[in-house]
Structure 1
Amino acid sequence: MQASLCHFWGYFRFMGIKHLLEAIHMHSETLLLAQHYLLALFIIFLIGTLGGKLAEKLGLPDVAIFIVLGILLGPSVLSLVDIHAESTMNQMILLFGACFIIFHGGVITSFEILQKVWRTISLLSTLGVVITAFIVAFAAMWIFNIPFLVALLLGSILASTDPAALVPIFQKFPIRRKVAQTVITESAFTDATGAIMTTVVFGLLFSSKDAGVFSIGFEFIQLALGGIIVGAIIGFVATFLISENDRGLLREFTPMVVVLAVLGSYLVAEQIHASGFMSVFVTGLMFGNAKSLRLTVLPKEEQAAHQFIDAVSLKLRMLVFILLGSQVDFAALKQYGWLGLIVIAIFIFVARPITVLASLLPDSKAKWTRPEVLFFFWTRETGVIAAALAGIVASSGLAEGKLVSAIVFMAILVTLLLQASTTPFIARKLGLLESSSELKKGEQ
């Protein structure tokens, strides 16, 4: 009996020690992974800060420098940053980055500009998104011989422009205010509507229902309207809480209110099957136009909010675009090579001009000039939203997911390195850079 007890006790101790060692091993693996991510973040912020300074010296958009630095830091070259596109960490960074950047786009959008060019913006962000998506879809279906819905998914992902690339350019270079504000507003709206269209097509791909025009339209309206309502409510409440009123309880915590508004508007909208991206944009729109809502935000709180938003946006641009550069799959790019470039050429030189003409020409009240229309032709950057959506597609198990991701990353590389870096030059050649006297007049 005593021998049996000793044997049982020995077995119990052995199993206890075994489980303890396994727990320690699992803990050490988790700790090492956390340290790996921290090291990657440290390298990204260190090199990104130096890259931002270099971009300032060269007079180039920082996102173009960030994506080149990402390629150099990634597994294909120096292997200093290796965060997989399908990882939870990467998806969280891209998702939060996308939400915050769209929110920033809403904050810098003024109701005054919207009132003047709302027809153009409405057409660009609805009809324009559809035109771009379908032209790219037909091109991809013909070139790669893929199902139409898969091709339309690719077109939907590429249909939105990128405020993360555009906002810094227009903040740095004095491009004509009407044009700059319209392009920024378009990018913010199309990010939301492009994401909605992608969500609809993605859902149709994995459902047993046939894709019909009415079902797509109904889903689109449901997602957009729900996002607008949620964003308007949360945006008003957040602005009210930091405004000058008896119940402005959170004025001292303005930066925290910004973060809560971004996360809250996205999560609430998604929970009720509405567009989180549209909700975030409308929240930013309400936040940035407090005076139009008859809410007075004190200069101190307003300055704190803008400083915080600018600082966080810079860090997120740095983080997102260096990560995107590090995840470029050169094997996939080589595999799809010239055929992918043909799709992107159609995307830039066919889909964009047709979209712009269909959206700007009907708006006679905006009185768009020929140089302004030509500038719209070239201002077509693709970036963080497309990358976030492509990441979701890549991790979904879709058979053509690798093809979609490769074409999206090729579009990001081409538009950022070619178009974003030359946007100031094109504006100068078209005579759209404002003089100092024009800037003062506009400020007055």
Structure 2
Amino acid sequence: MAIETAGSLGPVAAVALVGALGVGSQWLAWRLHLPAIVLMLAAGVLIGPVAGVLDPGLEFGALVQPLVALAVAVILFEGGLTLDLRKLGDARAGVFRLVVIGAPLGWLLSTLALRYGAGLSWEASTVFGGIMIVTGPTVIAPLLRQARLQRRPAALLQWEAIVNDPIGAIAAVIAFQTVLVLNGSSEVSFAATAFGIVFAAVAGFAVGAGIVVLFRKALVPEYMKVPVLFSGVIAAFALTDGVLHESGLLAVTVMGLVIANADLPSYEELRRFKEQATVLMVSGVFILLAASLDFAVLGQLTWRAALFVALVVVVVRPLTVLVSLLGTNLPWRERALIAFTGPRGVVLVAVAGLFGERLAEAGVPDGAIVGPLAFALVAATVVLHGFTLAPMARWLGLSGGEAPGVLLIGGSRFTTAFAEALKKAELPVLLTDPNHAHLVAARTAGIPTFYGDILGEAAEHSIELLAYTTVVAATDNDAYNTLVTTDLAPEFGRDKVWRIARTRENEARHALPSQLGGMSIGEGRSYDALQTLMRDGWRFGLTRITEEFTLDDWRATRPGAMILATLNGRRDLSFVDDTADLQVGEGARIVSLQPPDPVQPAAA
């Protein structure tokens, strides 16, 4: 049996530690409303160079770089899988300009910042400047979830990050080959480099199209679709990366883009699984890279590194975005937000470290400083944008709003009155229905409405879904309510998706599995029962609980009233499924459905 090196955790314990810290950091960030990337970065640095608990090079040896490379490939594929051209909408022109104009302009400006800010040679500056085109989908995605940006600026940032990632890697390859040719040490011609790039794009398209054909013709059973997808991603990356280093990133992005736009019936299931896998991989990669940090190497950085980071954040990024978006119809607020949001992530650190070593081997003396500079830039932008994106979006009016909104599905007397009560509580509310006649009363009452199917593509383009955190399905169709809540549960969270009770729900013959549909509101009353209550004169009430007027007082003064939900001081809406054990603190408000006042007998 092999003897482990002193101080080594062992590969199994190291994997467990990385997984626990990565996922734990993301969970803690969710609980504390903090940027997950910042916590992961801090956790990796703490267990690595600070405490010396984990040394990835010692635990995994030469496998660290291949593992990181494969993880980045899967992350980029998942990013490509979200790039549905039909969902781009009015962000199309902006994305096109950020890629076609922004990428080369960003390369030029980054190169100048490296040359005159960081003091690097032209060779190292040109290679590293190409890598700096990337803005990091591994960082952008968690930040967008936290900041709850409106649809168009979120789409611009997400598409730019995903599409420019492989472009940045390819730009670095081209620049590096140019440096080798000028130094007379190149073993690969420009023609071979161009062939590798074209081969990667074609291979990614071919693998993606092949998988689409297999899935569409039902040549792969449902339980094997995800394994086939994973195998295809790894095969496409390995095949193309073996022809030209870093071209695999282009291949997997193209592959994801092809599958995303193929309109596959099982697309949503595939995408959600890939999202979950990506969360795990982002966690692991960030912990590993942060734990691999060497303070001695970072000690090579001087004051010019800080000047370089400042130039990138204050000059390079804003100038690139503002010039690229000239002539578009984007409001200045959206341009400003995008211009001052450019966090870098895993791809920049991984690719910069690789090319830094190759530059040093090729005789470029300052190539060794490229890796530390990349890490400094990533750390600075992750912390900066992690804490400023959400406040800046709110200040510019581009976030989903401070108060969590409620999405009511189905127009009726019940939902219209409910919407009026929520509006009185200053909660954003939207009432939707595919039947125009069902929305007339709501529109007359001044309730925001959407005429159409909430599951349709028109809803994705027209509704800022990030403004809403709670869904209530209350149509007259029990099957549709079940469909809506089941479909939206992964997006909103199963604890935030509710529905009215189904007719004969408690009968065994008509009961559905617990994983279908959301939780029930209204003390088990169906659509017809709730409508009958409204016709009989029941009304919604909004009552604040105070020290003088407790929950017991409320119950004593409102016999027969039905408690639907409670609102805390932050206007978070919580539906009540068990009123017997309900605990309501001082300052909270009760949303209830109350019977009509009893008719007083006429005086004799």
Coarse TM-score class (shorter-chain normalised): 0.7 to 0.9
Per the alignment, residue 20 of structure 2 pairs with 46
Q: Which of the numbers 149, 152, 166 marks the counterpart of 2:140?
A: 166
The answer to which structure, 1 or 2, has the higher relative contact order (CA under 8 A, 6+ apart) is: 1
Deviates more, 1:280-289 or 1:427-436: 427-436
Deviation, 1:261, is 2.2
- Looking at structure 2, the residues matched to 34 and 304 of structure 1 have their Cα atoms a distance apart, in angstroms, of 39
Q: Which amino acid aligns with 2:56?
A: I
Q: Measured at CA, do residues 315 and 439 of structure 1 come closer, stay the same or move farther in structure 2, by a change above 3 Å? A: farther
Q: Structure 2, unaligned stretches of length 5 or more?
A: 406-428, 433-449, 451-458, 464-604
CA contact (8 A) 1:254 1:304 kept: no
Indicate which of 231, 241, 260 corresponds to 1:270. Answer: 241
Aligned length: 401
Residue in structure 2 matching 1:324, options 257, 281, 289: 289
- CA separation of 1:224/1:394 partners in 2, compared to 1, >3 Å: closer, same or farther? closer
The structure 1 residue matched to 2:102, chosen from 97, 112, 128, is: 128
Moved more, 328-337 or 48-57: 328-337
Question: What one-letter code is carried by the residue in structure 1 that aligns with 2:229?
Answer: V
The 1:157–1:332 alpha-carbon spacing in structure 2 relative to 1, beyond 3 Å, is same
Pairwise CA distance, 1:353: 0.9
> What residue number does 2:385 align with?
419
Deviations 1:244-300 (A, max 9, x none): x2x422432121122112112222323444821111111111222222xxxx424xx
Q: Structure 1 residues 138, 421: closer, same or farther in 2, change over 3 A? A: same
The CA distance in 2 between the partners of 1:42 and 1:419, in whole Å, is 29
| CA deviation vs aligned residue, 1:281-324 (integer Å, no higher than 9, x gap) | 11111222222xxxx424xxx45423321221111111111112
Take 1:434 and 1:389, find their aligned partners in 2: how far apart are those partners? 34
Residue deviations 1:80-114 (CA, integer Å, cap 9, x gap)? 11113995222112201211111111111121244
- Which residue number in structure 1 is paired with residue 254 of structure 2? 282
Distance 2:166 2:110 in 1: 19
Task: Give the Cα–Cα distance (whole angstroms) in 1 for the partners of residues 251 and 88 of structure 2.
Answer: 18
What is the identity, as a one-letter code, of the residue corresponding to 2:384?
L
1:402 and 2:340 correspond? no
Determine helix, strand or coil for the equivalent of 2:2.
helix
Tell me: CA distance 1:113–1:360, structure 2 relative to 1, closer, same or farther (3 Å): farther
**1:228-249, Cα deviation, whole Å (9 max, x unpaired):** 3222211111122223x2x422
SS at 2:299 equivalent: helix
Q: Which segment is superposed worse, 415-424 or 170-179? A: 170-179
Q: Which moved further from structure 2: 98-107 or 274-283? A: 274-283
- Give the alignment of 1:205-244 within 5 angstroms: 205-208=179-182, 224-243=197-216
1:257 aligns with 228
Q: 1:55 to 1:259 in 2, by over 3 A?
A: same
Task: Please list, as runs of the form range in 1=range in 2, the aligned pairs for 1:30-69 lying within 5 A after superposition.
Answer: 36-69=10-43
Contact 2:169 / 2:249 at 8 angstroms: preserved in 1?
A: yes
Q: Take 1:173 and 1:46, find their aligned partners in 2: how far apart are those partners?
A: 25
Separation in structure 2 between the aligned mates of residue 414 and residue 117 of structure 1, nearest angstrom: 28
Tell me whether 29-38 or 265-274 shows the greater mean CA deviation.
29-38
Q: Which amino acid aligns with 1:150?
A: A
Q: 1:145 to 1:415 in 2, by over 3 A?
A: closer
- 1:392 aligned partner: 354
Structure 1 distance, partners of 2:431, 2:316, is: 33
Q: Please, which runs of 5 or more residues in structure 1 have no aligned partner?
A: 1-26
Query: Which among 345, 361, 373 is matched to residue 326 of structure 2?
Result: 361
Change (3 A) 1:32 1:227: farther
- 116 and 235 in structure 1: CA distance in 2 versus 1, 3 angstrom threshold: farther
More helix by share: 1
2:335 is the alignment partner of 1:373: yes
CA displacement 1:173-227 (0-9 Å, x = unmatched): 431111111211110111010000011112222334789xxx98x8886555433
What is the letter of the counterpart of residue 329 of structure 1? Answer: D
376-385 or 218-227: bigger deviation = 218-227
Whole-Å separation in 2 of the counterparts to 1:379 and 1:226: 33
**Structure-1 residue corresponding to 2:277:** 312
**Cα distance in 2 for residues equivalent to 1:439 and 1:111:** 28
TM-score of the two chains, using structure 2 as the length reference = 0.61
Cα gap change, 1:208/1:348 in structure 2, threshold over 3 Å: closer, same or farther?
Answer: same
Question: Is the CA contact 1:104–1:313 (under 8 Å) kept in the aligned structure 2?
Answer: yes
Asked if 1:428 is matched to 2:402, the reply is no
Shift of 1:425: 1.7
Alpha-carbon distance between aligned partners in 1 of 2:298 and 2:353, rounded to the nearest angstrom: 16
- Under a length normalisation based on structure 1, what TM-score does the superposition of the two structures give? 0.82
Structure (1 or 2) with the larger CA radius of gyration: 2
Partner SS state of residue 335, structure 1: coil
Contact 1:51 1:69 survives alignment (8 Å): yes
Contact 1:290 1:297 in 2 (8 A): no
Q: Is the 8 A contact 1:231 1:280 kept in 2?
A: yes
Q: How big is each residue's C-alpha offset from its partner over 1:320-364, in whole Å with a ceiling of 9 and x where there is no partner? A: 1111221233233333132101011111111111110121114x3
Check 1:334–1:32 CA distance in 2 against 1; reply closer, same or farther (3 A cut): closer
**C-alpha contact 1:387 1:409 (8 A) present in aligned 2:** yes
SS of the residue 2:334 aligns to:
helix
Distance across 2 between alignment mates of 1:95 and 1:114? 29
**Amino acid of the structure 2 residue aligned with 1:67:** L
- The 1:142–1:269 alpha-carbon spacing in structure 2 relative to 1, beyond 3 Å, is same
* Cα offset, 1:62, TM superposition: 1.3
- Indicate the residue corresponding to 2:168 in structure 1: 194
Superposed displacement of residue 140, structure 1: 2.2
Indicate conservation of the 8 Å contact 2:77/2:233, yes or no.
yes
CA distance in 2, matches of 1:221, 1:170: 35
> Structure 2 CA distance, aligned partners of 1:169 and 1:48?
16
The 1:438–1:94 alpha-carbon spacing in structure 2 relative to 1, beyond 3 Å, is: farther
Deviation at 1:148, TM superposition (A): 0.6
After TM superposition, what 4+ stretches of structure 1 lie above 6 angstroms from structure 2?
30-35, 218-221
Alpha-carbon contact 1:113-1:178 (below 8 Å) kept: no
Identity over the aligned pairs, expressed in percent? Answer: 22
Structure ranking higher in strand proportion: 2
Supply the AA of the counterpart residue of 1:333.
Answer: L
2:71 aligned partner, one-letter code: G
**Alignment RMSD:** 2.9
Q: 1:389-429 CA deviation, whole Å, 9 max, x = no partner?
A: 12312443443232111110000100111112321221111
Secondary structure in 2 aligned to 1:206?
A: helix
Q: Distance in 2 between matches of 1:257 and 1:191?
A: 24
Counterpart secondary structure, 2:301: helix
| Aligned counterpart, 1:19 | none
Asked if the contact 1:72/1:326 (under 8 Å) is kept, the reply is: yes
Instruction: Tell me whether 165-174 or 307-316 shows the greater mean CA deviation.
Output: 165-174
User: Match of 1:20?
Assistant: none
SS in 2 for 1:400: helix
Name the SS for the 1:104 alignment partner: helix
1:345 match: 310
Matching of residue 111 in structure 1 with residue 76 in structure 2: no
Offset, 1:162: 0.5
